[in-house]
Amino acid sequence: MSEIRVSIIVPAFREGENIKLLTEGIFKALSAKNLDKVTELIIVDDNSKDKTVEVVQQLKSKYPVRVIVRTTERGLSSAVLRGFSEAKGRYLLCMDADLQHPPQSVPDLIESLEKGNEFVIGTRYGGGSLSVDKDWPMHRIIISKGARALARPLTPLSDPMTGFFGITRPAYQRAIQNGINPIGFKIALEMYVKARIKKHGEVSIVFGVRHAGESKLTGAVIINYLKHLVELYSFALPLLLPILLAVALVLLYVLYKILV
Ligand SMILES: Nc1nc2c(ncn2[C@@H]2O[C@H](COP(=O)(O)OP(=O)(O)O[C@H]3O[C@H](CO)[C@@H](O)[C@H](O)[C@@H]3O)[C@@H](O)[C@H]2O)c(=O)[nH]1
Ligand SMILES: [Mg+2]
């Protein structure tokens, strides 16, 4: 087999029903661009009590895919970091297992890194406004837009909430040296800020609906995101953090006065 240039990491928890379609979709898109022989796919599963491991074993005879099963850890971001730590490629990509990130866009992300960008995202805001499947629920749209606004001062990324991204190995190593925080869901934003990315690319995508299974986004994930932001602000914009906290306190006080 040729030398591995690209590693695709997929964090997966109870995604057994999605892995086959995902793998087939990714390698179909890659083979159209002659990238299938230089790419490895790594699924990082947190001991799901489903058929994930069996499905990957079956796919192995046809595709360069393997599964890492973690038994003592849980969490999307730490799963991605584990995959990156075992990856061989010069270009490291991350995407979800549930087919919400379109496999056909994978070659475009790779191409963006090959052109000299050190970071690339699949963005749902490529056309300016949020581009999601018509069946995406309203509360998810509101959460997504609010979370995006809170991250604005940290990054020019049009979609800092995306989990579909790629990074070059040197940029990834810079992020590791600056100390990666594996909290929560927003590993792309974490990598972008910690690697102090100077040049990034964006690829427009339509964010689909989950193929099978259930979302793992809970209230705890949203609280973790707020804690994560405080940490990122203190890393990247330490002078702004006290000002933002003061503004937040004033707003809370005003709300309290209005409501009580
Ligand atoms: N190993 C592991 N994987 C996990 C865990 N929690 C979630 N995942 C995996 O992480 C991916 C995203 O989880 P979903 O539950 O599908 O998340 P979502 O609500 O659809 O969120 C998506 O959209 C966000 C943008 O709105 C993205 O930020 C996020 O990364 C994800 O793409 C899926 O492949 C899921 O199996 C975990 O604890 N462990
Ligand atoms: Mg999902």
* Neighbouring-strand partners of residue 144: none
pLDDT bracket for residue 182 (50, 70, 90): confident
Higher pLDDT, 22 or 1: 22
Amino acid letter for position 84: F
Instruction: Give the CA angle between residues 23, 27, 29 to the nearest 5°.
Output: 120
Rounded CA-CA distance 137/147 in Å is 16
Residue with tokens 């949020």: 130
From the CA of 101, how far away is ligand 1's center (Å)?
A: 11
Domains of the chain: 6-259 (3.90.550.10)
The tokens for 20 are: 């086959």
Q: Which residue has the tokens 């972008």?
A: 192
* Residues framing ligand 1 (Cβ under 6 A): 11-13, 15, 44-46, 74-76, 79, 96-98, 100, 144, 161-163, 185, 210, 215-217
Residues 6+ apart with CB under 8 A from 180: 81, 190, 191, 194
Q: What letter represents residue 141's amino acid? A: I
| 162 Cα to the center of ligand 1, angstroms | 10
Q: Give the pLDDT band (50/70/90) at residue 150.
A: confident
Report residue 1's pLDDT band, with 50, 70 and 90 as the boundaries. Answer: low
User: Cβ distance 65 to 41 under 8 Å?
Assistant: yes
Band (pLDDT 50/70/90 cuts) for residue 129 is: confident
pLDDT in tens, 25-74: 999 999 999 999 999 999 999 999 899 999 999 999 999 999 999 999 99
Q: What percent of the chain has pLDDT over 70?
A: 98
Quick one: which atom of ligand 1 is closest to the CA of 74? 38
Contact between 110 and 25 under an 8 Å Cβ cutoff? The reply is no
